[in-house]
Structure 1
């Protein structure tokens, strides 16, 4: 009787299952605003755009620019001078964009509990930053966020929710963290700042939205407001100053109060590591983002106003990017 070897009865190896994976987005082309469609779960259903400079500096900073209501990401970044500055200094921009399905006026939902505090739109922006920082090899110690109006209020919400992520932020014609929790209250507080809000309540609103314990580190912040603004009550800038100087553990009164030019006032609050909060007040500025077209290489547009001063250059200087 002939014995057959056991190997004769072995089944052939099962073919390996190949799982098709979507191709990654190609590297963003230089000196253009490009949309990236795959950046995470995107719970806030936002669009992501980036700007890559022609010559990217190694370990460059990363700046997130949040547009205001009725604007689009690319136009606001261009008109405000952020693209020109990024091109000159060789750092990339992240440009989140709101969509009509989320808000009919394309405002970021800075007041909705489901879109701030590491959820919804806030989390979508965080996912955009994570992708961009990897793609561009950004210096994780130099990530910044700036926004106008609703974008400014969302910038404040991002600074509160992710304080360890950012080195600095800027709020232009924006609202304090926690000023509203619904659309009607948001409109009311935009036109009339809360006169009953105490400084302690303002500070608590940031701390309630933040993972940082009391006494922890928060980013430095630049606040800008026009005194002739009829869309956002200028008193909101005073609440922002009280809120963020308090969060940093600083006195209510500023360490310095100067007038660099007629109608232009700057106040600063200083801590152990230098200035932590600054507030710029422009006497004749209505609602909008102030630019100097020559300095910014930008031009006036919807809610981007020629004011003879470059908020972009000053904010970047305050953050330590450029000469300010």
Structure 2
């Protein structure tokens, strides 16, 4: 693993890592993966299996990583206005990393995708809102709608399902986050029905927000069962899938995994939950990145062996310590107590001088 500086001005003072399979052809796709609070890029990749899938299917992966100097719980600052406004803060740093990857590795700028868990999911929503022209698709796992909070108290309230902008206001904030007038990215939404950290109503808010820009109705085009879980789909008039929403029955806060069997991928850990369905595989399917999708279109899958992860280093850009109201890990890998998580976060905020 090596550090590389100079991918841009890096106003968000983030670190970036990436994985590129060996002999990756020019014009390959790029997936951007954002970890959750207290996690690292390497740890989230190990749990989710994105690099392994990239080796199997032939695409590159970028892993922006938060730094403790920006946030005591290494959460992306998904609710801080200066970090989620186009061409400012953390969203600009991630955008600069993406451009560096596309330029250096000859990637297809029309096939860039982004996903994240929890605070990373909320930051993925911010990237999709502020740079919709960059992405062909996104996936938000246990995240929050763009613009749903702008202060620490609001962030806690939204996570718990209290208050928040109206559906119309959420749609307005998404539509006005950029000057974009073209096609919007397709969106995959994942939520555990028993999540007490970022409660399920947040997935409904994300859905409502994106229904506006995609011009689809409240009712899904179809509802089906996939790996024993409920999948709802919204399509355009030509039948193209624009939005999908998975509700994972009985799952707490984390990324859904299926680690066993021929299609097993990833490793269970705190907030990496082996519940019999691989969000990583299904998201890649939805985006058209896997051999299963390619087989349907008559294209051959791209496969190549991988090489080690390399890194971008953060530019020298110290910032005041700030805190994201998201979760901290618990020993129980199936989920965690909202009360315990809140105490850990509030203790960290007090230690950082951000809360009394």
**TM-score, reference length from structure 2:** 0.78
Q: Which among 148, 161, 166 is matched to residue 179 of structure 1?
A: 148
Does structure 2 conserve the Cα–Cα contact (< 8 Å) formed by 1:35 and 1:50?
no
Q: Matches of 1:248 and 1:53 in 2, distance apart?
A: 34
Q: Which residue of 2 aligns with 1:84?
A: 52
Does 2:199 match 1:233?
yes
Q: Which residue of 2 aligns with 1:298?
A: 266
Q: Matches of 2:29 and 2:264 in 1, distance apart?
A: 19
Q: Matches of 1:38 and 1:95 in 2, distance apart?
A: 16
Structure 1 residue 38: Cα displacement: 1.8
Q: Which among 61, 64, 67 is matched to residue 96 of structure 1?
A: 64
Structure 1 runs of 4+ off > 6 angstroms? none
Does structure 1 conserve the Cα–Cα contact (< 8 Å) formed by 2:234 and 2:244?
yes
**TM-score, reference length from structure 1:** 0.86
Q: Which runs of 5+ in 1 are unaligned?
A: 1-32
Q: Which residue of 1 aligns with 2:308?
A: none
Q: Matches of 1:35 and 1:66 in 2, distance apart?
A: 18
Does structure 1 conserve the Cα–Cα contact (< 8 Å) formed by 2:257 and 2:265?
no
Q: Which residue of 1 aligns with 2:183?
A: 217
Q: Which residue of 1 aligns with 2:297?
A: none
Structure 1 residue 178: Cα displacement: 0.8
Structure 1 residue 296: Cα displacement: 4.5
Q: Matches of 2:128 and 2:226 in 1, distance apart?
A: 28
Q: Which residue of 1 aligns with 2:341?
A: none
Q: Which residue of 1 aligns with 2:332?
A: none
Does structure 1 conserve the Cα–Cα contact (< 8 Å) formed by 2:129 and 2:175?
yes
Does structure 1 conserve the Cα–Cα contact (< 8 Å) formed by 2:232 and 2:246?
yes
Does structure 2 conserve the Cα–Cα contact (< 8 Å) formed by 1:296 and 1:312?
no
Equivalence map 1:138-149=2 (5 Å):
138-149=107-118
Q: Which residue of 2 aligns with 1:270?
A: 235
Structure 1 residue 145: Cα displacement: 0.3
Structure 1 residue 199: Cα displacement: 2.1
Q: Matches of 2:5 and 2:42 in 1, distance apart?
A: 16
Q: Matches of 1:249 and 1:308 in 2, distance apart?
A: 33
Q: Which residue of 2 aligns with 1:252?
A: 218
Does 2:11 match 1:43?
yes
Q: Matches of 1:257 and 1:199 in 2, distance apart?
A: 22
Structure 1 residue 272: Cα displacement: 3.7
Does structure 1 conserve the Cα–Cα contact (< 8 Å) formed by 2:17 and 2:64?
yes
**Taking structure 1 as reference, are residues 251 and 218 closer, same or farther at Cα in structure 2, changes over 3 Å only?**
same
**Taking structure 1 as reference, are residues 193 and 210 closer, same or farther at Cα in structure 2, changes over 3 Å only?**
farther
Q: Which residue of 2 aligns with 1:283?
A: 249
Q: Which residue of 1 aligns with 2:79?
A: 111
Structure 1 residue 289: Cα displacement: 0.3
Does 2:33 match 1:65?
yes
For residues 181-201 of structure 1, the C-alpha deviation after alignment (integer angstroms, 9 at most, x for no partner) is 11221111111253x643211
Does structure 1 conserve the Cα–Cα contact (< 8 Å) formed by 2:15 and 2:66?
yes
Does structure 1 conserve the Cα–Cα contact (< 8 Å) formed by 2:13 and 2:93?
yes
Q: Matches of 1:190 and 1:76 in 2, distance apart?
A: 21
Q: Which residue of 2 aligns with 1:200?
A: 168
Q: How many corresponding residue pairs? A: 288
Q: Which runs of 5+ in 2 are unaligned?
A: 294-356
Q: Which residue of 1 aligns with 2:352?
A: none
Q: Matches of 1:120 and 1:229 in 2, distance apart?
A: 29
Structure 1 residue 79: Cα displacement: 1.1
